[in-house]
Amino acid sequence: MTFCHKLQDEKIFYQMYKMTEVINSISDFEKYLKNTKKVVEEALDFSLGPENPEILRESMRYSLLAGGKRIRPILCLASCSLAGGEPSLAVPTAVAIEMIHTMSLIHDDLPAMDNDDLRRGRPTNHKVYGDAIAILAGDALLTRAFKMVSLRSPGVDPNRLLNVVGELSLVAGAPGLVGGQVVDLECEGKEVDLETLEYIHLHKTGALLKACVRTGAMIAGANEKLLQALTTYAEGIGLAFQIIDDILDLTSSSEKLGKTAGKDLLADKTTYPKLLGMEESKKRAFDLVEKAKKAIEPWGADAKYLISLADFITNRDR
Ligand code: GRG
């Protein structure tokens, strides 16, 4: 057991070294995206300890390593860089965020919630492991996330880590994902106005995106002015992300999305295209992204990857 832990620590340092190498050698956004995603995938691969029993470990790995765009950890690492930090220091937090995101997807797919069969191009966790193990795998990923931040961030000021833990616990809980999900469930089958729709998405989707950029910057010791600008940026991309999600649900296929397409229409869910129409929804997403980019423009070239990530979110096709 001790030997196994030691090995993992060594892997982290190797990972950190590689991260520096990767960041130094990239020259454009596409390369950045590809390389950073690779770093994230590798970090995720050894993020789980010798979790027992085996069925729990399998179920956690099944969803955590099932692909996904990894937008959240990439946002976290890009924000750390923008704030002048060494991005490798934010890798454990980036991994923790992806664990929280993954657990929210596992729970969201359960029959008691959104009841879905397909996620990230595979049968949903509960379809493979059953409802009980899926719930527990989600619980274990959520708790593991906090261990990642607290014990695997060597070289980061503990006060900064304390702020990161505070931020993550807030956005995961009632003031964030859980609260948004409750309102979403309560609105099922009801007429929903734009204000309520925005409340749901700012909490279900926007809150975690906000935590990505804020925690990445906190690790680098960002000041309040930058944290505020990043908050504005994240609120813009958060809503835009959801508008694009609603549009893709209507226009794309399950094969392409890796999750069931056309579900919103079938469940008669209130979406942006339903409330605003397709063209107005696209325009709103574009305007939100422009506003988001404007908030971080004062940081010039340092903000280039976050600016490209905002465009990537609106131009994505899955
Ligand atoms: C966090 C404690 C805790 C509980 C979770 C179930 C729940 C409470 C909240 C639901 C949150 C949810 C599923 C929001 C939808 C967010 C969203 C747009 C997901 C899709 O994100 P992508 O497209 O997915 O980035 P990939 O698979 O690429 O990572």
Rounded Cα gap, residues 301 and 126, in angstroms = 44
Ligand 1: residue whose CA is nearest its atom 13: 105
| Secondary element (H or E) of residue 122 | strand 122-123
> What is the pTM for the complete model shown?
0.91
State residue 19's pLDDT score. Answer: 53
State residue 70's pLDDT score. Answer: 97
State residue 244's pLDDT score. Answer: 94
State residue 206's pLDDT score. Answer: 96
- Dump pLDDT digits (tens) for 115-167: 999 999 999 999 999 999 999 999 999 999 999 999 878 889 999 999 999 99
What are the start-end ranges of the H helices in the chain?
2-25, 29-45, 54-64, 71-82, 91-108, 125-129, 131-151, 158-172, 177-186, 194-201, 207-219, 224-251, 254-257, 263-266, 272-276, 278-296, 304-315
Q: Is 40 in the pocket of ligand 1 (CB under 6 A)?
A: no
Q: Is 114 in the pocket of ligand 1 (CB under 6 A)?
A: no
State residue 269's pLDDT score. Answer: 83
Closest CA to 102 of 48, 131, 142, 53: 142
Asked if residues 56 and 136 have their Cβ atoms less than 8 Å apart, the reply is yes
State residue 257's pLDDT score. Answer: 87
Rounded Cα gap, residues 34 and 43, in angstroms = 14
State residue 20's pLDDT score. Answer: 52
Mutational pocket test of ligand 1: of 107, 243, 254, the residue with most ligand atoms within 8 Å of the beta carbon = 107
State residue 127's pLDDT score. Answer: 98
| Secondary element (H or E) of residue 118 | strand 118-119
Q: Is 204 in the pocket of ligand 1 (CB under 6 A)?
A: yes
Rounded Cα gap, residues 141 and 147, in angstroms = 10
Rounded Cα gap, residues 40 and 216, in angstroms = 14
Give SS3 for 28.
coil
Tens digit of each residue's pLDDT, the chain (318 residues): 233 344 455 455 445 544 554 454 445 899 999 999 999 999 999 899 887 899 999 999 999 999 899 999 999 999 999 999 999 999 999 999 999 999 999 999 999 999 999 999 999 999 999 999 999 999 999 999 999 999 878 889 999 999 999 999 999 999 999 999 999 999 988 889 999 999 999 999 999 999 999 999 999 999 999 999 999 999 999 999 999 999 998 988 888 888 888 888 777 888 899 899 999 999 999 999 999 999 999 999 999 999 999 999 888 878
Q: Is 205 in the pocket of ligand 1 (CB under 6 A)?
A: yes
